[in-house]
Amino acid sequence: MATTEGQLDETAEGTGEARVGWRHTIDQVKRDTTARWGMYVIVIVTFVALFSALDANLNRLTLGHISNYAIGQALPLLEHPERIPPPGEIYRNEPPAFAEGGSWEHPMGTDHEGRDYLTRIVYGTRISIAVGFVATFIGLVGGVAIGAVAGYYGGWVDDALMRFVETIYAIPALVLVIVFTVFVSGGRPDVIYAVVGVGLASIPVFSRIIRSRVLSVREMDYIEAARAAGVKDRNIIMRHVIPNSFAPVLVYATLQVGVAVLIVAGLSFLGYGAQPPTPDWGQMLNYSHGLMHSSPWHSIWPGVAIMITVAGFNFFGDGLQDALDPRIEN
Amino acid sequence: MTLLRYTAWRLAQAVPVLIGILFITFLLVNAVPGDPVRLMVEGQEVDQATIDMLEARYGLDKPFHERFANYVLGVMQGDLGHSFHRGMPVTELIMIRAPPTLMLVLSAFVFALATSIPLGVIAAKRRNEPADHVSRLLAIFGVSTPSFWIGIMLIIVFAVWLGLLPSGRLVYPWRDPGFYGLNNRLELWYHSIRHLILPMIALGTLQMATLMRIERSSMVETLQKDYVRLARAYGVPERTILRKHAFRSAQLPVITIVGLNLSTALGGAVLIETVFEINGMGRLIVQAIAQHDYQVVLGVTVVLAFIFLIGVIITDISYAYVDPRVSYGDED
């Protein structure tokens, strides 16, 4: 059996070629200006998300007026008394630096509890990026498994799985995620349920994309050869079918990170995503919606942050798609 | 297969999906740890007898499969259950709340098509020129911006700062003008449109961006087809080629995407209705969740999915109408 496997690896020499293909793809993405900018945005936002955790500038993040919440947050400050702002320096609803009454101490102003808006925006990247990647990963694994099995076996397996997928797809993703989050959490929604919900809701598109590729890949000679050599179906699917059908899935995954960020932002906006005091862009928009008339700047920043982050993934994904699409070449 | 038989076949195919939708939503809504009655009376002083009474009243004392069977039977007769909170049948409630949502979603698609088709055609015609790049940027930012935030920004700019348009709620053209203190139909229409503009743009931007990309790539592909090149070789003016030869056949993928995007638009309506305080189905489901009114949540979810299914079937059928090459799914 071991020899067969060894031979098969040689049969799948395509992986060697594929690697050259990948290099070609990367070169093309690098040459695409907008895709490159998208990549910069992704790298920067991810970096900020990872390292904002290290900056424990607590008073800028959480301290405003003394609320129960602030007291809870203030306890650690007892160890760092120098970080407690003097009494006169607590401002609520301060406008951004460029507006009248603003100061550069809080470039984006402060929120309704006197917390620095810029800091909260920066911390908001953590939730968004984590949500985007984890939800996409769940959708990708689930979707690829379902789509590959459906496409490879065909027949009633395919019919049953695809009907299931269509069913999930028919329910608007946002509604599905809200219902999932609220009911599965037993009325105590949190971002973790939202992430799983978005992941499940994205299964249909992933499975459709990979299925349509698998339908052509399964007819290839090397699959035939593997089958003739007596390789188990599971190994054929895992080692040959999925790797050779993966390119469009990868493109879609990049775009899906953006979609996940948008859905969770919507969910948090409705109050079913990240719960306060965790800083989250959608949830910040939820607060600011009520302050639209008195302090409209609150509504600007989180939206811009979401837009830039999601656009980063979309530009990159778009460039990747062009690079992988052979029709664009000529 | 004739078109009529194809239609019947597509409708029949939708039945298992519909039952699947009922099952999944029913399962989710019943996944509540504890039970919906307890959730409903949370925070109130209620004795066990009342809880038992409520459970019996809503059939919650029966096992899961029995409840599900009852629910499916009810849905087949158009009965979506009873609202805990509002004390009325869910079907009736949805009948009241559906028209605003449909009006909003349809207008968003009208807006999206009216803007994306010309922009997409221009981008395809001037491929790799500045106009094309601008449309690409526009499209990508369009799909990257949360619709509800666009709504908030539109309200801040056009309603709060400029005071040009109303900031929310809709005026329904099918109501009596007197209801809004207006004199005639014309005035009613005028106000309906004014109220609809901002939510329509907020909801339609995402669709516009998606459709613009599809329109562009579809046009680019069609313009490279042999028959178009033949027409060009015959000296047919580029304008005529664009209008008469390429345009129509390039619309097929656009039709498909419109159908599929109905789902996104219905989901988006939940947010837009919340931002603009429109009493449609989207706002209803948000309110129902907050009120633990689970029959309403279930009902609205099912109806939204049902609307989507109908939309997809309509696009499939219209596709078959427009394109004679579409096979109706039979092998022979």
Judged by a CB distance cut-off of 8 A, whether residue B137 touches chain A is yes
Structural domains of chain B, with CATH: 99-280+305-322 (1.10.3720.10)
- pLDDT for A155 equals 86
Residues within 8 A of B (CB atoms), A 293-312 only:
293, 296, 299-300, 302-303, 306-307, 310-311
Question: Tokens 């491929």 label which residue?
Answer: B127
Among B236, B244, B241, smallest CA distance to B223 is for B241
Cβ separation B149–A178 shorter than 8 A: no
Per-residue CA distances from A146 to A153, B16, B19 (Å): 11, 19, 20
- pLDDT for A60 equals 45
User: What is the per-residue pLDDT across A98-137, written as a single tens digit (0 to 9) for each?
Assistant: 777 667 777 777 776 667 778 788 888 888 888 899 999 9
Structural domain tally of chain A? 1
Mean pLDDT of B295-305: 91
Q: Would you say residue A14 lies in a domain?
A: no
Mean pLDDT of A271-282: 82
Q: Which helix (H) or strand (E) holds A151?
A: helix A117-153
User: What is the per-residue pLDDT across B223-272, written as a single tens digit (0 to 9) for each?
Assistant: 888 888 888 888 888 888 888 778 877 888 888 888 888 989 999 999 99
The domain spanning residue A193 has which CATH number?
1.10.3720.10
Confidence of residue A79 (pLDDT cuts 50, 70, 90): low
Number of DSSP helices (H) and strands (E) in chain A, helices first: 16, 0
Count other Cβ atoms within 10 Å, centred on residue A12. 18
- pLDDT for A81 equals 63
Spell B109-145 as b/e; 16+ CB within 10 A means b: bebbbebbbebbbbbbbeeeeeebeebbebbbbbbbb
Among A204, A203, A210, smallest CA distance to A152 is for A210
Q: Which of A121, A131, A161, A179 to mutate to test the interface with B (most CBs of B within 10 A)?
A: A179
- pLDDT for B317 equals 80
- pLDDT for A80 equals 66
Cβ separation A289–B292 shorter than 8 A: no
Residues within 8 A of A (CB atoms), B 224-263 only:
263
Among A257, A255, A131, smallest CA distance to A197 is for A131
Question: Tokens 């633990």 label which residue?
Answer: B292
What is the Cβ-side half-sphere exposure of residue B124, based on CA atoms within 13 angstroms? 27
Q: Would you say residue A16 lies in a domain?
A: no
| DSSP tag of A110 | B
User: What is the per-residue pLDDT across A219-276, written as a single tens digit (0 to 9) for each?
Assistant: 888 888 888 888 888 888 888 888 888 888 888 898 999 999 999 999 999 988 888 7
Judged by a CB distance cut-off of 8 A, whether residue A180 touches chain B is yes
When CB atoms are compared, the residue of B145, B267, B275 closest to A173 is B267
Which residues are B82's β-sheet partners?
Answer: B89
Q: Would you say residue A330 lies in a domain?
A: no
**A-B contacts at Cβ under 8 angstroms:** 147
Cβ separation A163–B16 shorter than 8 A: yes
Q: Cα(A123)–Cα(A142) distance, rounded to whole angstroms?
A: 30
| DSSP tag of B164 | -
Q: Would you say residue A2 lies in a domain?
A: no
Residues within 8 A of A (CB atoms), B 284-303 only:
285-286, 289, 292, 294, 297, 300-301
Q: Would you say residue A315 lies in a domain?
A: yes
- pLDDT for A65 equals 37
pLDDT greater than 60 at residue A177:
yes
B319 contacts B9 by C-beta, under 8 angstroms: no
Q: Would you say residue A9 lies in a domain?
A: no
pLDDT greater than 60 at residue A55:
no
Judged by a CB distance cut-off of 8 A, whether residue A184 touches chain B is yes
Spatial neighbors of A310 by CB under 8 A, at least 6 apart, are A258, A259, A261, A262, B143, B144, B145
Closest Cα in chain B, distance from residue A294 (Å): 10
Per-residue CA distances from B19 to A92, A101, A188, B12, B13 (Å): 52, 59, 28, 12, 11
Residues within 8 A of A (CB atoms), B 154-213 only:
155-156, 160
Closest Cα in chain A, distance from residue B157 (Å): 10
Mean pLDDT of B91-107: 93
> Which phi and psi (to 5°) does residue B82 adopt?
-130, 135
pLDDT greater than 70 at residue A17:
no
Q: Which of B26, B144, B157, B261 to mutate to test the interface with A (most CBs of A within 10 A)?
A: B144
* Lowest mean pLDDT segment, chosen from A6-15, B207-216, B226-235: A6-15
Judged by a CB distance cut-off of 8 A, whether residue B20 touches chain A is yes
Residues of A in contact with B301 (CB under 8 A): 171, 175-176, 179
Confidence of residue A67 (pLDDT cuts 50, 70, 90): very low
User: What is the per-residue pLDDT across B108-152, written as a single tens digit (0 to 9) for each?
Assistant: 999 999 999 999 988 988 888 888 888 888 899 999 999 999 999
Across chain B, what does the average pLDDT equal? 84
Q: Would you say residue A113 lies in a domain?
A: yes
User: What is the per-residue pLDDT across A211-235, written as a single tens digit (0 to 9) for each?
Assistant: 888 888 888 888 888 888 888 888 8
Closest Cα in chain A, distance from residue B221 (Å): 10
A277 contacts A96 by C-beta, under 8 angstroms: no
- pLDDT for A284 equals 86
When CB atoms are compared, the residue of B31, B34, B155 closest to A184 is B31
Amino acid, res. B192 = S
User: What is the per-residue pLDDT across B153-200, written as a single tens digit (0 to 9) for each?
Assistant: 999 999 888 988 888 888 888 888 888 888 888 888 888 999 999 999
Question: Tokens 């968003």 label which residue?
Answer: B108
Provide the domain limits for residue A186: 25-69+87-324
Judged by a CB distance cut-off of 8 A, whether residue A99 touches chain B is no
Cβ separation B274–A270 shorter than 8 A: yes
- Sign of the torsion formed by the C-alpha atoms of B36, B40, B46 and B49: negative
- pLDDT for B158 equals 92
Cis before A277 (ω within 30): yes
| DSSP tag of B168 | S
Across chain A, what does the average pLDDT equal? 78
Among B286, B291, B296, B300, smallest CA distance to B40 is for B291
Mean pLDDT of A201-206: 92
Judged by a CB distance cut-off of 8 A, whether residue B266 touches chain A is yes
Residues of A in contact with B34 (CB under 8 A): 186
Helix ranges, chain B (H): 3-29, 36-40, 48-57, 64-76, 90-125, 130-144, 147-154, 185-223, 226-233, 238-240, 247-275, 281-290, 294-322
Q: Would you say residue A80 lies in a domain?
A: no
Amino acid, res. A248 = P
The pLDDT > 70 percentage for chain A reads 76
Q: Cα(A41)–Cα(A56) distance, rounded to whole angstroms?
A: 24
Per-residue CA distances from A107 to A97, A121, B236 (Å): 5, 12, 59
pLDDT greater than 80 at residue A163:
yes
Count other Cβ atoms within 10 Å, centred on residue B302. 23
ipTM: 0.86
